[in-house]
Structure 1
Amino acid sequence: MKLFLTGCTGFIGRELIPLLISEGHKLTIISRQSEKKIKMTVNSSEIKVIQMNPADSSSWNNEELQSSLQSCEGVINLAGEPIAEKRWTDEHCKEITNSRLETTKNLIQNLRNLKKSPKVLINASAIGFYGSHSQTEFTEEDIPGDDYLANLCQEWETIAKNKPRATRLLIIRIGIVLAKDGGALGKMLPIFKAGLGGPIGDGKQWMSWIHRTDICNLINESIKNSSFSGVINGVAPNPVRMNEFASLLGKVLGRPSLLAVPGPILKLILGDGARVVLEGQNVQSKKFKKLRFKFIFPTINEALKSILN
Structure 2
Amino acid sequence: MRVLITGGTGFIGQALVKALKDRGDEVVILSRNPAENPEIITALEQIQQPVDAVVNLAGAGIVDKRWTEARKQLLRDSRIATTASLLQWIEQQSKRPAVLISGSAIGYYGSQASQTLDEEAKPVDGFTHQLCADWEAAASKATELGVRVCLIRTGVVLGAGGALHKMLPPFRLGLGGPIASGQQWMSWIHLDDEVRAIVWLLDNPILQGAFNLTAPEPVTNAEFSATLGKVLHRPAFFPLPGLVLKLMLGEASELLLQGQRVVPVQLQASGFEFRYPVLQSALKQLLN
Query: Where on the TM-score scale, by shorter chain, does this alignment land: which range?
Result: over 0.9
Instruction: Please name the residue that 1:161 is paired with.
Output: 140
Instruction: Please name the residue that 1:225 is paired with.
Output: 204
On the 8 A contact 1:145/1:151 being kept in 2, the answer is no
Structure 2 distance, partners of 1:275, 1:298, is: 26
Instruction: Please name the residue that 2:248 is paired with.
Output: 269
Q: CA RMSD in A?
A: 1.2
Structure 1 stretches of at least 4 aligned residues deviating more than 3 Å after TM superposition: none
Shift of 1:229: 1.2
Gaps of 5+ in 1: 40-46, 53-59
Instruction: Please name the residue that 1:173 is paired with.
Output: 153
Instruction: Please name the residue that 2:167 is paired with.
Output: 188
Structure 2 distance, partners of 1:15, 1:4, is: 14
Structure 2 distance, partners of 1:86, 1:78, is: 19
Structure 1 distance, partners of 2:222, 2:122, is: 28
TM-score (norm 1): 0.90
2:73 to 76, 94, 99: 94
Shift of 1:205: 0.3
Question: Amino acid of the residue matched to residue 114 of structure 2?
Answer: Q
Shift of 1:121: 0.5
Correspondences of 1:109-188 after superposition (within 5 Å):
109-163=88-142, 164-181=144-161, 183-188=162-167
Q: What's the % identity of the aligned pairs?
A: 41
Deviation string, structure 1 residues 13-33 (Cα, Å, up to 9, x no partner): 221111010111111111111
Deviation string, structure 1 residues 19-51 (Cα, Å, up to 9, x no partner): 010111111111111232xx5xxxxxxx62113
Question: Amino acid of the residue matched to residue 51 of structure 1?
Answer: T
Instruction: Please name the residue that 2:40 is paired with.
Output: 49
On the 8 A contact 1:28/1:48 being kept in 2, the answer is yes
Shift of 1:228: 2.4
2:188 to 209, 227, 232: 209
1:255 to 234, 251, 262: 234
Instruction: Please name the residue that 1:27 is paired with.
Output: 27
Instruction: Please name the residue that 1:83 is paired with.
Output: 62
Question: Amino acid of the residue matched to residue 151 of structure 2?
Answer: I
Q: Which of 84-93 and 199-208 deviates more?
A: 84-93
Structure 2 distance, partners of 1:239, 1:171, is: 20
Shift of 1:76: 0.4
Instruction: Please name the residue that 2:15 is paired with.
Output: 15
Question: Amino acid of the residue matched to residue 128 of structure 2?
Answer: L
On the 8 A contact 2:8/2:29 being kept in 1, the answer is yes
TM-score (norm 2): 0.96
Question: Amino acid of the residue matched to residue 122 of structure 1?
Answer: I
Shift of 1:236: 0.5
On the 8 A contact 2:112/2:124 being kept in 1, the answer is no
Gaps of 5+ in 2: none
Correspondences of 1:52-71 after superposition (within 5 Å):
52=43, 60=44, 62=45, 64-65=46-47, 67-68=48-49, 71=50
Instruction: Please name the residue that 1:72 is paired with.
Output: 51
Structure 1 distance, partners of 2:6, 2:244, is: 35
Deviation string, structure 1 residues 179-218 (Cα, Å, up to 9, x no partner): 132x221111011111110001110000001000000001
1:305 to 266, 284, 287: 284
Shift of 1:290: 1.6
Q: Secondary structure at the match of 1:122?
A: strand
On the 8 A contact 1:125/1:157 being kept in 2, the answer is yes
Shift of 1:86: 1.3
